[in-house]
Amino acid sequence: MELNQLTIHELQEKIKNGETSAVKITESVFQRIDAVEERVHSYIRLLKDEALVAAAIADENIKKGQIKPLTGIPIALKDIVCTKGIPTTCGSHILHNFIPPYDATVVEKLRDAGAVFVGKANMDEFAMGSSTETSYFGPTRNPWDLERIPGGSSGGSATAVAADECIASIGSDTGGSIRQPAALCGVVGLKPTYGRVSRFGLIAFASSLDQIGPFTKDVEDCAIMMNVLAGFDTKESTSVQAEVPDYCQFIGRDIKGWKIGIPKEYFIEGIDPEVNAAIQKAIGVIEKCGGKCVEISLPHTQYCLAVYYIIAPAEASSNLARYDGVKCGFRTSDARDLLEMYKKTRMHGFGAEVKRRIMIGTYALSAGYYDAYYGKASQVRALIKKDFEEAWKKCDVILTPTTPTPAFKIGEKTDDPLQMYLSDIFTISTNLAGIPGISVPCGFTAAGLPMGVQFLAGHLEEGKLIQIASAYEKNAQIEKRRPKL
């Protein structure tokens, strides 16, 4: 097995035993990138020279016995987290030349833990999309079928892990943008509790929904990454000041006696039969592990999409107002006055989906409509959050499908935004409630496409998610396949 195919914990063992080096691991990853990147397009920008320097420094530290949790491990960063001196584009023309003067907190934490940064991963423009087709730099392709989408908006981060173009990666999740591509690419993806991981240096889409989290090859690696990422940050006003457990201690624990909630609203008409069958099988695995599955109700689930597509565009409208051609990024050269410069910069700088959401959000916030739309959506959001609070009285963890279908074909839904938005129907509620969720591979379709099962838990209960995901992963024994690229 090639070094690029191994997990963090497998590579850590080899490093400690002197069987390999950070430079060899990094070179293996870039050899893989050279072989497949042209077809997959996981990255907007590669950082090979910087990565090899960082790997050489890691090897010097290894010789001194200074081995940290991620020493020598190649990591990809979604191109929405700021990297000092390295362009951060958000997949958008309007930021194609933006170079941040500082690192995001998660970048600092990963670097302090010894990580080697491979590159900036492709994404839907400003994280607005479910397929990584809206990127100014072109679409990312699913490594399991190059004619299909990888999910979004963190599609590049997911495919980089699935195609062994890195060992783990960072994504962001506003309405499912970690969990949905994780499911469609056959990797593990975790969205932490809102505020559990610092958003300082994350370029904002919808500030009350955005959260940073990891993509990994297995659940143990997810725990290792969360140990590095989680924690209070004085630079970030919504950061939660709460003790962070050692997430690795939850690996391998049993779940006997746990009550697993199965929400009836998530098994809807239109769910793909193969996805439904895989989830029913997953329920059976959990029961064999000692979990007791009970039907629960999340009655306001039917309103989640409508609430999300008012709140998220409204916040995007506000956040993206700063991109006007004056402060940073793209500025049109064809303008007679300041007002025309503003108009043309935003007209040519933003793609169609971003402009659509800005217009929806601006309308929802406009005078005379604020109470009817944003105000009402915020009230219903509170009811959605209350649904989960009631559910925790009946169960420890909730189990659902991650996506209603396997990956669809590139271009299949680009002309039908509503069908595209429905791709996130099972993930959006988690962001509205601010709770954590994880997607774990649960099998393959007859055509060989991956599917995912989603587990949800209460605020700051990522440990529970890792525990049940670990138990499921161990007992489900999903066939280990790799994309045939």
Q: Tell me the pLDDT tens digit for each residue of 62-105.
A: 999 999 999 999 999 999 999 999 999 999 999 999 999 999 99
For tokens 């584009």, the residue is 89
Q: Please compute the mean of the pLDDT values over residues 382-401 and round it to a whole number.
A: 98
Mean pLDDT confidence for 225-240: 97
**Beta-bridge mates of residue 438:** 190, 455
Q: What is the pLDDT of residues 444-462, one digit of tens each?
A: 999 999 999 999 999 999 9
Domain segments of the chain as ranges: 3-251
Asked if pLDDT for residue 422 goes beyond 90, the answer is no
Instruction: Give the tens place of pLDDT for each residue, 207-216.
Output: 999 999 999 9
Paired sense of beta strands 116-121 and 188-191, if any:
unpaired
Q: What is the pTM of this model?
A: 0.97
With beta carbons less than 8 A apart as the criterion, state whether 121 and 43 touch: yes
Strand 168-172 relative to strand 74-78, pairing: parallel
pLDDT value of residue 94: 97
Read off the tokens for 312. Answer: 């998220």
Q: Which of 21, 42, 131, 153 is catalytic?
A: 153
Query: Is 366 an annotated catalytic residue?
Result: no
Q: Is 429 a catalytic residue?
A: no
State mean pLDDT over 157-179: 98
Q: Which of 21, 78, 109, 439 is catalytic?
A: 78
pLDDT classification of 415: cutoffs 50, 70, 90:
confident
pLDDT at position 84 is 98
pLDDT mean over 173-180? 98
Whose CA is closest to 430, among 176, 184, 177? 176
**The predicted structure's pLDDT at residue 204:** 96
Give phi and psi for 91, each to the nearest 5.
65, 20
pLDDT over 90, % of the chain? 95
**Facing residues of 43 across strands?**
121
203: tokens are 């370029």
pLDDT digits (tens, 9 = 90+) for 294-335: 999 999 999 999 999 999 999 999 999 999 999 888 999 889
Query: Residue 1 above 90 pLDDT?
Result: no
In this prediction, residue 117 carries a pLDDT of 98
Q: Which amino acid is at 259?
A: K
Q: What is the pLDDT of residue 154?
A: 98
Longest dimension (CA), the chain: 70
pLDDT band of 44, cuts 50, 70, 90? very high
Calculate mean pLDDT across residues 3-23. Answer: 97
Instruction: Say yes or no to pLDDT of 41 above 90.
Output: yes
Mean pLDDT for the chain overall: 97
The closest of 388, 380, 381 to 435, measured between CA atoms, is: 388
Cα-only R_g, the chain: 21
* Amino acid identity at 266: Y
The encoded tokens of residue 459 equal: 């605020």
DSSP 194: T
Tens of pLDDT, residues 364-388: 999 889 999 999 999 999 999 999 9
Section 464-484 average pLDDT: 96
At 218 the pLDDT is 98
The whole-number pLDDT of residue 417 equals: 85
Cβ distance 199 to 210 under 8 Å?
yes
Q: How confident is the model at residue 270 (pLDDT cuts 50, 70, 90)?
A: confident
177 among known catalytic residues: yes
Tens-place pLDDT, residues 189-209 = 999 999 999 999 999 999 999
**Active-site residue, from 177, 198, 317, 429:** 177
Q: Residue 227 pLDDT more than 90?
A: yes
**CA–CA dist 21, 299 (Å, integer):** 53
3-251: which CATH topology? Amidase signature (AS) enzymes (3.90.1300)
**Closest Cα to residue 73, out of 23, 18, 16, 19?**
23
Which pLDDT value is given to residue 327? Answer: 83
